[in-house]
Amino acid sequence: LEFRRVLFRSPEARVASLQTAHADTLRIIGTIPGGRAVETALHASFADDRIGGEWFRPSPSLVAFMREIRRGA
């Protein structure tokens, strides 16, 4: 299981484009508003979890963050 942070105007379109190169089914599990500043802050917060590029391992802190997003916090 890997997470990918996606900064894109249309997350659905981005997932569809990523799916062609990924064996597992990709799905959107949450979204948050923001631009480059939010992206930079998230990259810094989860730097230790980075697998490569925009992919992150599901560490306890990242999973907790995603759960909060899904709850609408």
With beta carbons less than 8 A apart as the criterion, state whether 1 and 8 touch.
no
Give residue 45's pLDDT: 94
Kindly tell me if the per-residue pLDDT of 73 is higher than 70: no
Give residue 53's pLDDT: 79
Mean per-residue pLDDT of the chain = 82
The Cβ of residue 3 has, within 10 Å, a number of other Cβ atoms equal to 20
Query: pLDDT by residue (tens digit) across 40-68?
Result: 899 899 999 999 877 889 999 999 998 98
